[in-house]
Each structure stands twice: as structure tokens, then as C-alpha cells.
Amino acid sequence: MNTRDLEYLIAVAEELHFGRAAERCHASQPALSGQLRKLEDRLGVKVFERNKRHVRLTEIGNQIVERAKAVLYHVDAMERVAAAHRDPLAGTCTLGMPPTIGPFLTPLLLPALKHYLPDLHLNLVEDFTDNLERQLSDGQLDIAVLATSPTRAILSEIVLYDEPFWVAMPNDHPLTQNDVVDVEKIEPSELLLLSDGHCLRDQIYEVCKLNKSATADDRGPRTQKTSLSTILSLVGSGLGITLVPAMSLSDAWVTDAGIAIRPEKSGTAGRTVRLTYRREYPRMALVEKLADIIAGIVPNTVHPARR
């Protein structure tokens, strides 16, 4: 039994099709099928029920596949520990970011990494914060840039920067007459927010001191399952107001007709962005280097914690 056999096993379990599993593993179907039969013979149990029409996992097969995933996870961790010892600033790093950070930070980060970490190969993942935390804890991610403190004990953080929120509204809105905007003067029914799952949504509720039912209004557009760019398009069309993170002010929407931006009056509305990682992560030199790089490339609309 070797790790390749376990990869075949997991591929068939997830695809439930020998042909697709073989293609995924870059193997011939006869070779994959033969190796799995040998594996079943060695274990003395049937992992799969198979006929011409379908492939199914047996009850014991489910348990064996879970053990196989655990084995491969630990093998991968062992290899990464060894690679980190050789050169923690080289190799592959999988970095996660939520969709309210990634589109604005990534264009700044990639050229900087090419310059400062030329031997690092970055894989980018964009997802909701809760999903990123889970993937980070499970080892599917190496590091994540998040706008909330980690909720799992296995995770730790380095503060990167504090990012103010600005108010985005239609050009003809009465609040544009002010140099700064008191968020408590915004009508709750006017607020356009991202869907549940976006941490930015919860942060705006908090800074505006709103109940979650306060923005429910059938007169305005429904903004569930939309992106920040869609929200801003609605603002430009005169359909509401939103709060945007300062990093987004360098994006193209700022020059689009129909949107006015103003700073928030109290100066306290905003979020703290962090580099989050597993406490036992072996490449701490990479974590520290990334923190320094990110803090050094952010624009002056935010306040870096280190420089």
C-alpha cells in the first residue's frame, strides 16, 4: 500500500466513477482499478460496490476513505515541514481572502511578491470568512487575510492594518452636502448591504448601530447574493447608500458617474485586517515576511500596524 493507492481510493470515492477518477489521477482506468482491487484484497473488505451502472461506497468503505484522507493529510504536512526547513520562503503557499479584501489587495500583492519572494508560488482562494477559517484549520489553506479575529483556538493572527469605512451614495443625495457623514443619520431603509456570510455586512450593522431587521424594506432592491461591485452599481443608480472599505477607493468604481464618497464622521467606523495562520504552522518566516510586505504596500487610506 502506498500514497498513490490512497489517492486512487479517494478519487473514486469522490467521483463515484472509475473513468473520471483515473483521468483526475492521470492514470489509466485498468491500472487504477487493478490497484484498488489489490488494496481491497489486502484489507480483506470491499470498499466499493460496483456494477456496469454505478459505483458506491460500502459502509466500511466510508470509514476507510476517511482514514485515507487523514493519512494523506499527515504525509503532506510532513513534506511541508521538511520543505519549510529547507527554505520557508520558497515553494507553494495557498492564501485565502474574502471577496471584500481579495479584489483590492491582490493587485498590489502579486507584483510585490514577484519582487520580494520570487521563488514563492501563490495559490489564491476567495471565500466567506467562516469557510476560510475552516479550510485554514483543516490544512487546506496555509494562510488567510481576514477582517475578523479567528474564532478557533488552533489559529493565531498578526494585525496588518486598520481600514476605515467610507460612505458611498448617489451624487444627488442630501448627505453629499456635508464634508463628513454621520452614519447614524443614514436611513436604515436606504442601506444596501451584502448577503449573510460577508463579515463586511455584520461590521456595517455594528458601526451603524442597527438591528438586523432594520434594513428590511420591500421598497428597495433585494441585495442577497450580490457582490460589492453590484451594490455600488445600485448606489450609482440612486437606489441607496452603502459603506465601503478604504482599500476599495483605488478601484475603478470611484471614477464612475453617479457615486459620491465621503469620510465617516466619527473616524471609528472600520475594520482591522489580519494575517491568520495555524499556531503550529512551520513556515513562520514566511508569515512574518508576508505581513511586512502587505503592511508596506497598502495605500495611505489605511493605517498599517507595521512598517
The CATH number linked to 135 is 3.40.190.290
**89 assigned to some structural domain:** no
* Better-scored residue on pLDDT, 289 or 306: 289
SS3 at position 282: coil
> Of 42, 63, 84, which marks where a domain is finished?
84
104 in the same domain as 43: no
Per-residue pLDDT, averaged over 235-261, amounts to 81
> What proportion of the chain, given as a percentage, has pLDDT over 70?
87
Range of the domain at 68: 3-84
How high is the pLDDT of residue 113?
96
pLDDT digits (tens, 9 = 90+) for 175-233: 999 899 888 878 878 888 765 555 666 666 666 665 555 544 444 555 454 677 878 88
How high is the pLDDT of residue 273?
95
Identify whether the C-beta of residue 65 lies closer than 8 Å to the C-beta of residue 13. Answer: yes
225 in the same domain as 76: no
Identify whether the C-beta of residue 142 lies closer than 8 Å to the C-beta of residue 88. Answer: no
Here the cell at position 259 is 457615486
Banded pLDDT at 80 (limits 50, 70, 90): confident
Identify whether the C-beta of residue 145 lies closer than 8 Å to the C-beta of residue 294. Answer: yes
**48 assigned to some structural domain:** yes
How high is the pLDDT of residue 266?
82
**53 assigned to some structural domain:** yes
Give the mean pLDDT of the chain: 86
pTM for the structure as a whole: 0.67
> What whole-number distance in Å separates Cα of residue 46 and Cα of residue 41?
8
Angle at alpha carbon of residue 302, lines to 104 and 287, rounded to 5°: 70
Per-residue pLDDT, averaged over 78-85, amounts to 77
Per-residue pLDDT, averaged over 132-154, amounts to 94
The torsion angle over the Cα atoms of residues 220, 225, 227 and 228, rounded to 10 degrees, is: 50
Identify whether the C-beta of residue 199 lies closer than 8 Å to the C-beta of residue 129. Answer: yes
131 in the same domain as 68: no
8 in the same domain as 120: no
Nearest to 296 by CA among 286, 305, 287, 284: 305
Name the amino acid, one letter, at 154. Answer: I
pLDDT of 48 higher than 90: yes
pLDDT digits (tens, 9 = 90+) for 296-306: 999 988 999 87
> Of 30, 56, 84, which marks where a domain is finished?
84
Which DSSP letter does residue 246 get? Answer: G
Here the cell at position 20 is 473520471
* Contacts (Cβ under 8 Å, ≥6 apart) of 265: 180, 181, 182, 183
Per-residue pLDDT, averaged over 34-44, amounts to 94
**19 assigned to some structural domain:** yes
The number of folded domains in the chain is 2
226 in the same domain as 144: yes
Nearest to 272 by CA among 165, 166, 162: 162
9 in the same domain as 148: no
The region of weakest confidence among 3-7, 17-21, 239-243 is 239-243
Q: Identify the helix (H) or strand (E) that includes residue 41.
A: helix 29-43
Here the cell at position 286 is 514566511
> What whole-number distance in Å separates Cα of residue 190 and Cα of residue 168?
12
The region of weakest confidence among 36-50, 105-119, 168-182, 251-265 is 251-265
> Of 27, 51, 84, which marks where a domain is finished?
84
105 in the same domain as 69: no
210 in the same domain as 172: yes
**233 assigned to some structural domain:** yes
* Better-scored residue on pLDDT, 255 or 225: 255
CA dihedral over 137, 143, 147, 150, signed as positive or negative: positive
66 in the same domain as 208: no
184 in the same domain as 57: no
pLDDT digits (tens, 9 = 90+) for 88-125: 898 889 999 998 899 999 999 999 999 999 999 999 99
pLDDT of 133 higher than 70: yes
Q: What is the CA radius of gyration of the chain?
A: 24
The CATH number linked to 46 is 1.10.10.10
pLDDT of 19 higher than 50: yes
Q: Identify the helix (H) or strand (E) that includes residue 293.
A: helix 284-297
Identify whether the C-beta of residue 188 lies closer than 8 Å to the C-beta of residue 214. Answer: yes
Per-residue pLDDT, averaged over 62-70, amounts to 94
